[in-house]
Amino acid sequence: MKHKIIVNPTAGRGTAEGRIPELERLLRRHGIEYELERTERPMHAAELALRAGEQGFEVVVAAGGDGTSNEVLNGLMAAKKKFRRVPAMGILSVGRGNDFGYGAGVPAGPEEGCAVLAQGHRQPMDVGRLVGGDFPDGRYFGNGIGVGFDTVVGLEAAKMKWAKGFIGYVIGALKTMFLYYRAPLVRIAFGESSIEQKSIQISVMNGRRMGGTFYMAPESRNDDGLLDLCIADEMPRLQMLGLIMQYMKGTQAGSPHIRTGRGRTVEIQALDGELVVHADGETIGIHAQSLRVECLPGAVQMVCRPPQGGQGGGP
C-alpha cells in the first residue's frame, strides 16, 4: 500500500522539520511504503494531495497540525471531483493542534499515528463544506468552523510567539474578552429552526473539540450526516469566563446562554456587524456577511482506530 506523506516543516512553530528523521524511522519500522514531500507555501499541501490522487497513491497522510490536515482534505476533495478513485486520508500529528485527528479517531503523536497507518483500518467520514468569506467557491473542513470569539482568540494567540499551546489560547481569550470583541446580530437557520440574536460564538462541528481543550460538541459524530451546533448569545464578561470553563468540560449545554442543535445545512447571516470565521483553525474571513455550511456524508475514507463504541473511529 503506497502512502504519500505530506509534511508541513513549519508546523509546531517550526519544529516539524526536525522531526522528519523520526517520522521516517517510524514509518520504516512499521513497514509502511511511502514517499515523503515537504510543503513550501500556503495551500501547497492541497496541491500535493490532488497530485497524489492523480498519481495513484492509496493513502495521503497529513503530517503537521490541523491546518495541514485541512489543506490535505481540500486537495482530496478536489481529487474526488476529477478522478473516480480517491486516496484515503491519514494523519500524523507533529503540529500544535490535533483537533482534526482527535475527532477523526487518530491519536496524537507520530508513533501512535504510524501504528494506526500500519493497521490500515478505514472509516467513512463526513466532510463539511463552507461557502462564504474569502471562499465564495467553497472550502472544506473535517473538524469544524468557529464564528466569532474563538476565531479572534486564535488570531490573538498566534501573535504571541512566546506563549505556546494552551497558555497562549488562555491569554488570547482574556485579551479578546476585555479589549476587542463585540457580538454581531445574526440570523442562524438549521434544520427546522431559525434564531435571530446577538451571538458571541457559533461553532458548527463535524468533530468534537477545538483549541485542544474545548469540547464544543462533545456528543458529535462524524458519520451521521449531520453537523452539530453550539451557539452562545451575548453575555457579561464574567459569565463568558465561566462558560470557557464549561467548554473545557463539555458541559456548556446546561447554560442558559447556550443553544445546541443539529442540521444537514446551516446558514448564518450577519444582520449587524461582521462574521469572523475559521475552518479547522484556518482563518476563512474577518469581514464575512453570510455563510452557508453543508454536511457531505461519508465523503472521505479516514485511516483511523477501529470503532470503540463512540464516534466513527473516534477516541
Q: Using one digit for the tens of pLDDT, what is the confidence trace for 108-119?
A: 999 999 999 999
The 3-state DSSP class for residue 225 equals coil
Question: What integer pLDDT is reported at residue 162 of this predicted model?
Answer: 62
Are the folds of 2-120 and 130-297 the same? no
Give pTM, 2 decimals: 0.91
CB atoms inside a 10 Å sphere around CB 38: 17
Mean pLDDT in residue range 62-90: 93
Q: Using one digit for the tens of pLDDT, what is the confidence trace for 3-30?
A: 999 999 999 878 899 999 999 999 999 9
What are the residue boundaries of the structural domains of the chain, listed by start?
2-120, 130-297
Residue type, 212: G
Q: Does domain 130-297 have CATH number 2.60.200.40?
A: yes
Identify any residues that bridge with 293 across adjacent strands, giving them in sequence order. Answer: 130, 266
Q: State how far the Cα of 221 lies from the Cα of 226, in Å rounded to an integer.
A: 8
pLDDT band for position 161 (cuts 50, 70, 90): low
Task: With a cut of 70, say whether residue 87 has pLDDT above it.
Answer: yes
SS3 per-residue string spanning 111-173: HHHHHHHHHCCEEEEEEEEEEECCEEEEEEECCEEEEEHHHHHHHHHHHCCCCCHHHHHHHHH
Q: Which fold has domain 2-120?
A: Rossmann fold (3.40.50)
Task: With a cut of 60, say whether residue 312 has pLDDT above it.
Answer: no
Question: What integer pLDDT is reported at residue 180 of this predicted model?
Answer: 57
Question: What integer pLDDT is reported at residue 236 of this predicted model?
Answer: 87
pLDDT band for position 171 (cuts 50, 70, 90): confident
Question: What integer pLDDT is reported at residue 166 of this predicted model?
Answer: 62
Question: What integer pLDDT is reported at residue 313 of this predicted model?
Answer: 46
104 burial level (CB within 10 Å; 0-12, 13-18, 19+) = buried
Question: What integer pLDDT is reported at residue 1 of this predicted model?
Answer: 75
Question: What integer pLDDT is reported at residue 310 of this predicted model?
Answer: 43
Mean pLDDT in residue range 118-142: 96
Higher pLDDT, 277 or 307: 277
Q: Considering the chain, what is the average pLDDT of its residues? A: 90
Q: Using one digit for the tens of pLDDT, what is the confidence trace for 210-241?
A: 888 889 999 999 999 999 999 999 998 888 88
pLDDT-above-90 percentage for the chain: 72
Closest CA to 9 of 18, 1, 146: 18
Closest CA to 200 of 217, 208, 188, 191: 188
- Residue 307 C-alpha cell reads as 470503532
Specify whether the CB–CB gap between 263 and 192 falls below 8 A: no
Task: With a cut of 50, say whether residue 311 has pLDDT above it.
Answer: no
Distances, alpha carbon 285 to alpha carbons 130, 146, 227, in Å: 11, 11, 20
